[in-house]
Structure 1
Amino acid sequence: MPAAAADRAEELRRLHLDPAILVLVNVWDAASARTVASVPGCRAIATASWAIAAAHGLDDGEAIGREAMLDAVRRVADAVALPVTADLEGGYGATPDEVGETIARAIAAGAVGCNLEDGVPGGEQLRDAQDAAARVAAARAAADAAGVPIVINARTDTYLRGIDDPEAAILRGQAYARAGADCVFVPGVTDAATIKALVDGIDAPVSVLARPGAPSVSELQDLGVARVSFGPGPMGVALAALARTASDLLAGGVPADELNYRPPAA
């Protein structure tokens, strides 16, 4: 497993350095993973913690717990041949050592990439930047020990917490890159000029979250963004389609052709 996992991790790392932006349409289970992986142009799979928690009837913010989250990651990784990067929220641990254990277990579950965020679960505050960097360093050390160069996408929640300060995000991003992060994720930014400032100011590939009102994927590539993901958005699209279909059928409508769709086989 380590050799194959290491190869997938290196491929995921290469995709972050490719001139073409890495587009990650987030998934939450085996069926959604197989569906996205089957689409031409899909090069990697990313889980979304919010969507996985919602599929379990839970709120986001580590309410699902480490065991259930890693089980969900394993199901996704087992379902596809592409590299899988897992949204591991804050790392499911109070200490850097516990975060390192989470990373080791995520690798064992099949993940070759991970998100680690610096927001405190269930709160509005951010972790101290040095503490957050130490957690990134522990994740890197755990991956090194496992022999799998997992791609760490270190997320700073400055903008999600209402801090409209590019310099603060840049300083945190730089600290996380020095600690071993391969990519810096700044969700919550939609202004093109700010995104460009982050790309220019952080000495690592930059990842953003796309949502209505954000620049298009092509525009993000032109701004120098290395990676774009959509968080719970794809699940929202799927559930909105389900709600529309249910409404139509309950109103006596004709069954749509989409009712014949099935996820690709493993």
Structure 2
Amino acid sequence: MNRNFYKKTDTNKILRLWEIDFIRGFAIISMILFHILFDLNYFNIANINTNIGLIRIYGYFTASLFVFIAGVSVFLSSERAKFSLSKEKYLLKYFKRGLFLFSLGLLITTATWIFIGSGTIIFGILHLLGISIILSPFFIRFKKYNFFIGIFVITIGFFFSQLSGPFYLIPLGITPEWFYSLDYEPLFPWFGVFLLGIATGAKFYPGGKRQFEKTGFIKEKSRKKQDEFSFFSEGLEFCGKHSLLIYLVHQPVIILILSLISGKILL
């Protein structure tokens, strides 16, 4: 399998780096596996406590990787967009993209409120990514220094998690004592993870180009189509390219399959 720096269209337009899709694909598959375990416990099909131990660490790792790689992707997109867009169109691009994701998050809020009730997703990962993308143009200018800003945001997030407050502070990580949600990624600390992704993008992809190619960190190799790793890699890349669609449909599909297995409607 031949890979260039970038995958291109016939017009030679830069589209994406394969390793970003690979990591994003790994993250979405990892998230699906965690949600299968969560649903087995939530619907009392199997006694699997996903709130403690290694499974909980696995869940945090999966969410962190998903948010982190989103930060890297936004930096890459920004590096390419700033040469072709005016400042106004540049800001509008990320406002519209973030608003779209946040709107999808609101749809999930509505759906979980209707079908689940207790545990309604008020500020989940799509809400987080939507706001993070809207804010990203104001932080991308700091490039690799976003590492320190990200660490600061994460640190504040741990402090906020110990506090209780009014409902409207939920997006910041300060919640009422009664608050419970099936998916909760507030800006503090999770926006810090997003900023770490931006910092990493600035370090390893300056100008939107792969810097570490010269170091041999990633060596492009020609592989035959039947190569096992090639098949595995392309599968994850495919999932990475369609991660949003997969994220939106995976829970209904999991619930449908578990309903068929258990012989009862689970919602």
Q: TM-score range by the shorter chain?
A: under 0.3
Query: Which has more helix, going by share of residues?
Result: 2
TM score, norm. by length of structure 1: 0.27
Relative contact order (C-alpha < 8 Å, sep 6+): which is higher? 2
Query: Which has more strand, going by share of residues?
Result: 1
TM score, norm. by length of structure 2: 0.27
